Amino acid sequence: MPFEVIKLLTAVGMPLAVACWLLVLGFLLSWRAPWTSRFFLLLALGLLAALGSGAVAQRLVVPLERAFPVPARDSRAEAAVVLAGTVDLARSSLERVEFHDRPERIIEGARLVLEGRARWLVISGGSGDPSLPGASEAELLGAFARQMGVDPGVILLQEESRTTHEDAELTAALLRERGIGRFFLVTSAFHLPRAVGCFRKAGLEPIPYPVDYRATPLRRTPLDYVPQVWALQLSTLAVHEYLGYAGYRLLGYL
């Protein structure tokens, strides 16, 4: 399936977009079918209220984040493979990298190398932005890793992938070329189930290394049941992963 089509389907299938479609449909039906119109309007409001609740958002993301534990502190591997999807490509340069989200991925990957727990730092990711097809997140993250003190000679870049599936396929070829077998797969905890599945499908057995946790173990308060923007964002992230996992299953990527 073309990359641009995947991006479009992902965007229109997210909770906020779905709620907007339902609201538009409800208003269009308000004159001819008032009861049906009310159903769609209430459904849209109910969707926003539920997914905007912190309690619901946390319940959605927790199963994803608990799929794999953090490896033991003394564990070692030949490489740390860091998946991109963190850089603001439009505002970044090799001298100054701007993150829009999830900087923990490259920070932890670099730390694994600096602490001697991995020899190689492998960074996987081209451009996930259709408007910037020639950009390279891997190159930018490589520059950031060098600024953190990682030896340029141990940094390997895979700059062609645009999706998690492509990350696995193209990085697998790079790892085999270098004779790397045992490696940490460093990515956000919510993203690991899909990422690990893709790498296993590519014939590899990664050591899952979750970072960037979003769920909190705090006790529930009344505010957790009041719709809030951060909760809708967290729910959207979880829904994206569940739909992505299901879509990858159907496409045979897992």
- pLDDT at residue 251 greater than cutoff 60: yes
156-184 mean pLDDT: 96
3-12 and 15-28 helices, crossing angle to 10°: 60
DSSP-assigned letter for residue 99: B
Contacts of 94 (CB under 8 A, 6+ apart): 139, 140, 143
5 pLDDT band, cuts 50/70/90, is low
Whole-number pLDDT of residue 133: 78
Q: What is the pLDDT of residues 104-127, one digit of tens each?
A: 999 999 999 999 999 999 999 998
Instruction: State how far the Cα of 122 lies from the Cα of 154, in Å rounded to an integer.
Output: 8
Instruction: State how far the Cα of 14 lies from the Cα of 230, in Å rounded to an integer.
Output: 15
Contacts of 171 (CB under 8 A, 6+ apart): 81, 122, 124, 158, 161, 199, 202
Whole-number pLDDT of residue 32: 87
% of the chain residues with pLDDT over 70: 97
Relative to beta strand 183-188, strand 118-124 is: unpaired
| Average pLDDT score, the chain | 92
What 3-state class would DSSP assign to 239?
A: helix
What pTM was estimated for this model as a whole?
A: 0.90
**Alpha-helical runs (H) found in the chain:** 3-12, 15-28, 34-51, 54-65, 104-114, 137-147, 164-178, 192-201, 229-251
CB atoms within 10 A of CB 41: 17
- pLDDT at residue 1 greater than cutoff 70: no
- pLDDT at residue 219 greater than cutoff 70: no
